[in-house]
Amino acid sequence: MNGLPLLPAEPDAEIQPGRARDMKGRVAVVDIGSNSVRLVVYESLSRTTSTVHNEKTICSIGRDIVNTGLLNKEGCELALESLRRFRVLADKLDVTIREAVATAAARDAANGKEFVHRAEAAWGSPVRVLAGEEEARLAAAGVLAAVPDADGLVADLGGGSLDMALVKGDRVSEPCTLPFGPLRLIDLAKGDTDKARTLIDSELAKLPQLNALGNRTLYAVGGIWRSLARVDMMRESYPLHMLQYYTIPFGRALDLCNVLAKQSRKSLELMSVVSKRRMELLPYGAVVLHRLLMNAKFKEVVISANGLREGLLYDKLSDEERAKDPLIDFASIENVRLSRAPSHAHEMFRLSSPLFGDENAEHRRLRYAACLLSDIGWRRHPDYRARGSYEEVLYMPFGGADHRAREFIATSVYHRYSGDADVSDHLDIPGLLNKQDSERARRVGLAARLAFDLSASAPGELQNYRLRLTPSKVILEVPKRRSVIADETVSKRLATLAFAIDRRAEILVG
């Protein structure tokens, strides 16, 4: 991932002890959208934070706004009821930082100010009404929080608006907004998807920045497009059920949009992966995506589970905190939380580095992440360590890694516990790793397995040993005072590792 902060070239210079999560108090974010009202409580304000609580209510306050100019009365009452509940939950969860924002419907409706005033009373704190461009910028910031090397267009489709911004090199530019959320499109197009297509094209033609996006990526944000991705996963029988960084190639995305734009509600009801509350809106979300693809000729669509709410947090971080690699930061925190001796991961990374002299910067950071996560399974039942650790790593909520990178790290940790045994067929995600990736992951895991047998995870112990790679051998140097460590088990582990690198194993004691 080219735009990520990468590890310095010298392993001894860059490895620092892992840190515990900086607990400065929980953060609550309330997002009052045109279609839903959501509360998310985060563990802390930091580069890598966990979600303590997440819930939403579908209120549709923006329904009929085109026809009436007003927020939907029933929807507003439901939203206010939810906000009162959210206030109680935030109090009980000891939230110290509260942020609430309202988007398209609240800023456009004639009674929007009145509703916001009542929302502030219900929530007990100020509610900031975002301008469309600010909403677009924050959604793009949320994408960058998880995908620092994002390059293309972030498009956030809410119920009332389509908010877009360019991203490249960790920068956001040219934010803009269009009134084409599905709730609004239904009214503008009078329920006619062909008319909706014409309306969208007329506005997209006014955005010259789309002409420079050919062969770049569209980062799709919003619940409607996540529903669309679930349908694609179902059609493709995609085995990794994770929306973050799910990628749909251009041609397949066009075909999917064409199919969904023509579906009746009855047909959509047969798709169990689409929630009932999204069914009416999904065809219009498909039309919007189709027209964006046709106007800019993106190479692919990448689904982002991150958006406005994560952007609000990312915006509050210091420059130093934002500069951290989200994958390595997350793995460092989990290393401190779960490992027997957190410093052991850094020592293991140094010990194994001579075996990976051919690695590029991306390989290096993935190997580092695998080392940091290599001891997460020590409390598991021995018969379940390999499988359980593989699954845990695969579904960890870290950023900075696409599905291929997730599979690489998880496979490396699998081999740390299983040795040379192949990943079980019912665990392996076919097609994510090529042969070279699989072999490299095996070597990373086998190197870790050897390190744990040398040290029993005792901190400082691996500094007594050295690994060297020659054209024909993998050599383990053992000091004479520790010669008893080089027993049959260590010899076997070294031989397995050497075989995986097409070398012979040799132990030098002296």
Residue 91 has pLDDT above 50, yes or no: yes
Going from the C-alpha of 318 to that of each of 14, 46, 313, the distances in angstroms are: 21, 9, 11
What value does the CA radius of gyration of the chain take, rounded to a whole number of Å? Answer: 26
> What's the full length of the chain, in residues?
510
Burial of 272: CB neighbours in 10 Å, binned 0-12, 13-18, 19+: exposed
Reported as a single tens digit per residue, the pLDDT across 385-428 is: 999 999 999 999 999 999 999 999 999 999 999 998 887 666 66
Label the pairing between strands 26-32 and 95-102: parallel
In order, the DSSP letters of 71-134 are --HHHHHHHHHHHHHHHHHHHHTTEEEEEEEE-HHHHHSTTHHHHHHHHHHHHTS--EEPPHHH
- Cβ–Cβ < 8 Å for 123, 100: yes
| pLDDT at residue 472, rounded to an integer | 97
CA dist., res. 355 & res. 448, Å (int): 12
What 3-state class would DSSP assign to 507? Answer: strand
| Tokens encoding 474 | 């993998």
Query: Does residue 430 surpass a pLDDT of 80?
Result: no
Share above pLDDT 70 across residues of the chain, in percent, rounded to a whole number: 94
Block residue for tokens 């303590």: 52
Is pLDDT larger for residue 399 or for residue 13?
399
* 133-311 has the same fold as 13-129: yes
Rounded CA gap, 247 and 431, in Å?
13
User: Which pLDDT belongs to residue 66?
Assistant: 87
Helix (H, G, I), strand (E, B) or coil at 218: strand
pLDDT of residue 4: 40
DSSP annotation of 281: T
Q: Are 369 and 335 in contact (CB under 8 A)?
A: no
Mean pLDDT of the chain: 91
Taking the C-alpha atoms of residue 398 and residue 410, their distance in angstroms, rounded to an integer, is: 13
Secondary element (H or E) of residue 155 = strand 152-157
The answer to whether 116 touches 191, Cβ cutoff 8 Å, is no
CA distance 46 to 5: 17
For 205-241, where are the alpha helices, taking DSSP H only? 223-236
Q: Roughly what angle, to the nearest 10 degrees, separates helices 435-455 and 488-500?
A: 160
The answer to whether the Cα torsion of 253, 259, 262, 265 is positive or negative is: negative
H helices, E strands: number in the chain: 21, 14
Sign of CA dihedral 486, 490, 492, 496: negative
**Cβ count near 490 (within 10 Å):** 17
Quick one: average pLDDT of 352-369?
96
CA 409 to chain centre: 15
Is residue 29 within 8 A of residue 309, CB to CB? The reply is yes
Q: Give the residue among 46, 136, 153, 148 at the shortest CA–CA distance from 399.
A: 148
Say if CB 95 and CB 25 are below 8 A apart: yes
What is the spatial distance between Cα 13 and Cα 5, in angstroms, rounded to a whole number?
15
Residues 282-332: pLDDT tens digits? 999 999 999 999 999 899 999 999 999 999 999 999 999 999 999 999 999
Task: Answer yes or no: are the C-beta atoms of 334 and 65 closer than 8 Å.
Answer: no
Encode pLDDT of 490-501 as tens digits: 999 999 999 999
Helical spans, DSSP H, in 419-487: 435-455
Per residue in 117-148, pLDDT tens? 999 999 999 999 999 999 999 999 999 999 99
Continuous H helices in 373-402: 385-394
Taking the model in full, what pTM does it have?
A: 0.90
Fold of 133-311: Nucleotidyltransferase; domain 5 (3.30.420)
Q: Which residue carries 């693809």 as its tokens?
A: 293
122 by Cβ neighbours in 10 Å (0-12 / 13-18 / 19+) ranks as middle
Q: Where are the domains of the chain?
A: 13-129, 133-311, 326-509
Cβ contact 476:486 at 8 Å? yes
Provide the 8-state DSSP code for 277: T
Helix (H, G, I), strand (E, B) or coil at 269: helix
Q: What tokens does 73 get?
A: 């009365």
Q: What is the CATH number of domain 13-129?
A: 3.30.420.40
pLDDT tens-digit readout, 230-267: 999 999 989 898 999 999 999 999 999 999 988 777 77
Q: Topology of domain 326-509, per CATH?
A: Hypothetical protein af1432 (1.10.3210)
Q: Which of 503, 488, 385, 494 is nearest to 448 (CA)?
A: 494
Looking at residue 24, what is its pLDDT?
Answer: 64
